[in-house]
């Protein structure tokens, strides 16, 4: 049976009342935008496979809330560094898939310029169509591989924030993502129960790539017994032009 889309009043009320949603994002306009994101995911998932999570409650908790907690992690820096009349801060989401966390972050932080990349063109079409349907004007999705795009000077070290969720082990992920982060910027890796172990194994990669772990923030999602972690990584110095290597090298011989 196909999943039923959320009802307007019910979904808005749930966002506004839910203790799972960070207080700053319990907003009616944000809720309406998030509803469209969920609706479009259910609609497009019936046409082609975007996510194995199809129940609206699971989508809300495991995709939407998860993404908003990532948005909350970068919000203090976003607020501190967002100046009227200045160019928008930029965020890149690597391996965005069906648009999480990128689309909810763009909805929750409207003065942030959000770019999502994924190697699958149909997923990028879904994300761009969703942004149009939800009137999210600060978002664009590009079909690209991180190890190739990061060689482009228009993208290399041009982002204040980079995010990634469930893409690869952290030592590999750091080499794919940190070349995009401007010195002083923040990389947020969204990780499952093995997050602290991955963080320990990434220490060498971080030192080579010019970054360090600033915080490991544990959190949980209802009906999921396993802990999750936001690993906040600060970019301290420019990354050597040697990185990232070809993906076959990265995967066979992680830093």
- What is residue 5's predicted lDDT score, i.e. its pLDDT? 55
Stated pTM of the model: 0.94
Q: What angle do CA 15, 16, 22 make, to 5 degrees?
A: 75
- Mean pLDDT for the stretch of residues 224-243: 95
Higher pLDDT, 229 or 19: 229
Question: How does pLDDT run across 52-108, given as a tens digit for each residue?
Answer: 877 888 888 889 999 999 999 999 999 999 988 888 999 999 999 999 999 999 999
Per-residue pLDDT band for 30 (boundaries 50, 70, 90) equals: very high
Give the chain's domains with CATH numbers.
70-252 (3.40.50.150)
Per-residue pLDDT band for 8 (boundaries 50, 70, 90) equals: low
Rounded to the nearest 10 degrees, how much is the dihedral formed by the CA atoms of 102, 104, 107, 109? -70
- What is residue 1's predicted lDDT score, i.e. its pLDDT? 41
Question: How does pLDDT run across 204-216, given as a tens digit for each residue?
Answer: 999 999 999 999 9
| Average pLDDT score over the chain | 92
What is the phi-psi region of residue 138: left when phi exceeds 0, alpha when psi lies from -120 to 50, beta otherwise?
alpha
How far is 68 from 71, CA to CA, in rounded Å? 5
How far is 189 from 230, CA to CA, in rounded Å? 6
Question: Helices 121-133 & 28-45, crossing angle to 10 degrees?
Answer: 140
Q: Is the pLDDT of residue 10 over 50?
A: yes
Of 63, 27, 16, give the one whose Cα is nearest residue 42. 63
3-state secondary structure of 43: helix
Cis peptide before 244 (omega within 30 of 0): yes
Q: Return all residues near 93 (Cβ < 8 A) that are at least 6 apart.
A: 101, 102, 105, 114, 115, 116, 117, 162, 163, 164, 165
Task: With beta carbons less than 8 A apart as the criterion, state whether 240 and 198 touch.
Answer: no
How far is 254 from 173, CA to CA, in rounded Å? 10
- Mean pLDDT for the stretch of residues 14-29: 90
Task: With beta carbons less than 8 A apart as the criterion, state whether 213 and 236 touch.
Answer: no
């Amino acid at each position: 049976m196909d999943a039923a889309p959320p009802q307007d009043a019910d979904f808005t009320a749930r966002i506004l009342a839910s203790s799972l949603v960070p207080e700053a994002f319990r907003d009616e306009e944000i809720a309406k935008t998030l509803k469209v994101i969920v609706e479009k995911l259910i609609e497009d998932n019936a046409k082609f496979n975007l996510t194995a999570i199809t129940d609206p409650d699971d989508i809300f908790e495991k995709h939407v809330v998860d993404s908003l907690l990532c948005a909350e992690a970068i919000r203090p820096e976003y607020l501190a560094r967002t100046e009227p009349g200045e160019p928008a801060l930029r965020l890149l989401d690597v391996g965005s898939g069906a648009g999480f966390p990128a689309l909810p972050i763009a909805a929750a932080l409207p003065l942030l310029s959000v770019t999502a990349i994924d190697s699958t063109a149909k997923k990028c079409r879904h994300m761009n169509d969703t942004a149009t349907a939800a009137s999210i004007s600060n978002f664009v999705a590009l079909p690209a591989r991180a190890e190739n795009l990061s060689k482009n000077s228009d993208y290399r070290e041009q982002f204040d924030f980079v995010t990634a969720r469930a893409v690869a082990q952290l030592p590999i992920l750091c080499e794919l993502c940190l070349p995009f982060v401007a010195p002083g910027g923040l990389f947020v890796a969204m990780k499952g129960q093995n997050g602290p172990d991955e963080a320990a194994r990434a220490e060498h990669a971080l030192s080579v790539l010019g970054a360090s772990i600033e915080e490991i923030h544990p959190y949980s999602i209802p009906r999921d017994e396993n802990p999750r972690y936001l690993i906040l990584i600060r970019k301290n110095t420019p990354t050597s032009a040697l990185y990232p290597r070809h993906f076959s090298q990265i995967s066979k011989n992680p830093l």
